[in-house]
């Protein structure tokens, strides 16, 4: 008989199981403390038991562990400084969705040369997350591959589901079992309906095919995740963080009988992918809060040591240190100024919420 399956498969490379990688890079006591405290704090913010604003801030993607940890140490010092008003969560994105082709991120291609050493990437990603949490910073990431959370999910405090995957049943089911709060981004056209449906779906129990810690196929049965919330990132060529867009999002959440919890992504379409506009988006959201807005609970900023971005060169030694290889970011001095100004402006208004 002629074969009828795997006709386009070149190879199956055996992977270490989640259990084996956890054993190689075990969760330390200090990292576990950061993860647990980070999740509890975010839950309390979403439950309106903590009046502070959380800010997911960091590089568009991690490509250089040394520069990433340099950034984390700077961010930890700033986090301690603004902790009375802002809860800073480091953006640690290892997976990059692609419209067609391009670098898929640190897990998929850690050597940045199309060799796709995924097992190496998972171990390096886990090692990086351990260091960030041991520094004392909770970490946020985008969940793209439905298997990756089994390898690194115990080190994540907040998860995003992107604009391209909020409509995916696979990602809604996965989110229903994640241990973190989950922010669902509005669709690339700017509509919030997809994200709201995703929040409702993820809040319900699901049963689906997945992978257990021993690397065996399993039927995963979830309880449902009650901490799904909306992330506005703009779309359809226009921003959606203005007061009218926020009010309409609040109405849509109320109609769905969901808590009015909104996170504004200051990047992407909200800043027309111009990083220098991100501080203006954040300032506008701060002004809305000072004028009485009660639904904006979080913000997202793409920030790194150096401003802008760079292409990936054939000779990786030519990479500029601390500069993004995906979306352009604001630099560290701008990040400090922006977050310090937000803290000063929000001290009183957040306390009165």
| CATH code of residue 213 | 3.20.20.70
pLDDT reported for residue 97: 79
Mean pLDDT of 101-114: 92
138, part of any domain:
yes
Mean pLDDT of 114-118: 95
Mean pLDDT of 307-330: 97
1, part of any domain:
no
Q: Could you give the count of Cα atoms lying within 13 Å of 121 in the half-sphere of its Cβ?
A: 21
Predicted confidence (pLDDT) per residue in 265-299, tens digit: 999 999 999 999 999 999 999 999 999 999 999 99
Q: Is residue 315 left, alpha or beta, with left meaning phi > 0 and alpha meaning psi from -120 to 50?
A: beta
Question: What gap in Å lies between CA 120 and CA 322, rounded to an integer?
Answer: 22
326 pLDDT higher than 90: yes
Do residues 167 and 194 make contact, with C-beta atoms less than 8 angstroms apart? Answer: yes
303, part of any domain:
yes
208, part of any domain:
yes
pLDDT reported for residue 100: 63
pLDDT reported for residue 241: 98
- Which distant-in-sequence residues (6+ apart) come within 8 Å of 129 by Cβ? 31, 92, 139, 152, 155, 156
**Residue 263 DSSP SS3:** strand
Tokens describing residue 256: 């769905």
Q: What is the CA radius of gyration of the chain?
A: 20
177, part of any domain:
yes
pLDDT reported for residue 43: 98
pLDDT reported for residue 352: 85
pLDDT band at 99 (very low <50, low <70, confident <90, very high): low
Pure H helices in the chain:
18-24, 29-46, 65-81, 118-135, 149-152, 169-177, 193-202, 243-255, 278-290, 332-351
The secondary element (H helix, E strand) that includes residue 153 is: none
290, part of any domain:
yes
Q: Is-above-0.85 flag for pTM? A: yes
Tokens describing residue 269: 């379409």
Mean pLDDT of 51-58: 98
pLDDT reported for residue 102: 84
Question: How many domains are contained in the chain?
Answer: 1
Question: What gap in Å lies between CA 319 and CA 68, rounded to an integer?
Answer: 14
Helix 243-255 crosses helix 193-202 at what angle (to 10 degrees)? 40
Mean pLDDT of 192-218: 97
pLDDT reported for residue 98: 72
91 pLDDT higher than 80: yes
Mean pLDDT of 202-227: 97
* Domain span holding position 248: 21-351
123, part of any domain:
yes
Predicted confidence (pLDDT) per residue in 135-165, tens digit: 999 999 999 999 999 999 999 999 999 999 9
13, part of any domain:
no
87 pLDDT higher than 80: yes
Q: Could you give the count of Cα atoms lying within 13 Å of 175 in the half-sphere of its Cβ?
A: 35
What share of the chain has pLDDT > 90, as a percent?
Answer: 97
pLDDT reported for residue 127: 98
């Amino acid at each position: 008989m002629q074969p009828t399956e795997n006709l386009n498969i070149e190879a199956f490379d055996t992977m270490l199981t989640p259990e084996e990688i956890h054993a190689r890079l075990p969760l330390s006591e200090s990292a576990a403390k950061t993860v647990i405290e980070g999740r509890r704090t975010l839950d309390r913010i979403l439950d309106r038991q903590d009046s502070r604003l959380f800010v997911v801030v960091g590089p568009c993607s991690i490509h250089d562990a040394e520069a990433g940890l340099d950034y984390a140490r700077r961010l930890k010092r700033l986090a301690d400084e603004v902790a009375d008003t802002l809860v800073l969560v480091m953006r640690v994105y290892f997976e990059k969705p692609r419209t067609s082709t391009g670098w898929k991120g640190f897990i998929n291609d850690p050597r940045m040369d199309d060799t796709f050493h995924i097992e190496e990437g998972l171990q390096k990603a886990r090692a990086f997350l351990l260091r960030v949490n041991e520094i004392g910073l909770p970490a946020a990431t985008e969940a793209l591959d439905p298997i990756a959370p089994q390898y690194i999910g115990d080190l994540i405090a907040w998860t995003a589901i992107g604009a391209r995957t909020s409509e995916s049943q696979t990602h809604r089911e996965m989110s229903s079992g994640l241990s973190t709060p989950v922010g669902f981004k509005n669709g690339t056209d700017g509509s919030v309906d997809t994200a709201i449906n995703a929040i409702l779906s993820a809040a319900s129990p699901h049963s689906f095919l997945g992978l257990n810690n021993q690397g065996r196929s399993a039927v995963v049965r979830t309880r449902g995740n009650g901490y799904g919330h909306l992330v506005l990132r703009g779309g359809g060529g226009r921003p959606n963080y203005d007061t009218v867009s926020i009010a309409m999002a609040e109405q849509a959440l109320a109609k769905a009988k969901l808590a009015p919890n909104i996170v504004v992504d200051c990047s992407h379409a909200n800043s027309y992918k111009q990083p220098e506009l991100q501080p203006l988006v954040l300032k506008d959201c701060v002004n809305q809060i000072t004028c009485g807005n009660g639904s904006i609970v979080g913000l997202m900023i793409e920030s790194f040591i150096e401003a802008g971005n760079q292409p990936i060169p054939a000779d990786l030694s030519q990479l500029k240190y601390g500069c993004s290889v995906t979306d352009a970011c604001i630099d560290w001095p701008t990040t400090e100024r922006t977050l310090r100004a937000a803290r000063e402006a929000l001290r009183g208004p957040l306390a009165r919420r």
